[in-house]
Structure formats: C-alpha cells, structure tokens
Amino acid sequence: QVQLVESGGGLVQAGGSLRLSCAASGRTFSNYIMGWFRQAPGKEREFVSAINWRGGITYYADSVRGRFTISRDNAKNTVYLQMNSLKPEDSAGYYCAASRNPRYSDGTMYDYWGQGTQVTVSS
C-alpha cells in the first residue's frame, strides 16, 4: 500500500502561483511513476503531469506545458507540482497518484490516489 496526502491548494488570482505537494508513505516511493490529475465539477478527470521514478523524465498535458513543473524528491517521498501563470480554467480538485504502469496519462493505470486538494483561480 502507498498512502498519498496532497497539500498546497488554495485560492489565488489569475496569473498567480501555487505549489502542490504530495507526501507518500508505505511501499517504496521511488518505484512508482507519480502523476497529477485534476477534476472540475461536472467534468471528467484529466491528466495534468507525471514524472518517472528517477525524476529524469516528465510529462505534461498541453494545457499546462510551460506553466506547470513537476518534480520529486525520493529522499523525502514527496512529489511537487509548481503551478505558475494560473488561469481560471485551472480551477479543480488536484489529485496525485502512483503507478507502476508506463501509461502515465491513463488514470485507470494508477494504483493509489490521494484525497485531493482544491485549487481555485479567480479572474
């Protein structure tokens, strides 16, 4: 089992920044691909970003590329999502997840999920 706890969400004005954190405990954190997904009310969950187990390869949805940066610190069992130039359409619940499957953008391939943290961007 891997337990994931997100933090760092909040209310921010458009153009602002937030950094989300996801602390993991349980099984060896470094064995997993870590991903961030988001879901807004009435919308389907969508892939945001992922990072491979070593941290050298990152993936982004087109909608956030260039604005968001994912990173991980395996020594701290934590993955981060730095979100800059936030837009109102970024408002959603953000969830981190852990997977051992290379299909990083497919949420059904993730084994463990956190409870989510809310991000609200005002215009």
User: What confidence tens digit (pLDDT) does each residue in 43-53 have?
Assistant: 999 999 999 98
User: Which token pair is 67?
Assistant: 């604005």
Whether pLDDT at 31 is above 90: no
pLDDT band for 28, please (50, 70, 90 cuts). confident
Whether pLDDT at 30 is above 80: no
How does the average pLDDT of the chain come out, rounded? 94
User: Do β-strands 18-26 and 46-51 pair in parallel, antiparallel, or remain unpaired?
Assistant: unpaired
Q: What percent of the chain has pLDDT over 70?
A: 100
User: Do β-strands 33-39 and 10-13 pair in parallel, antiparallel, or remain unpaired?
Assistant: unpaired
User: Which token pair is 122?
Assistant: 């005002």
Average pLDDT score over residue span 74-88: 95
CA distance 76 to 111: 20
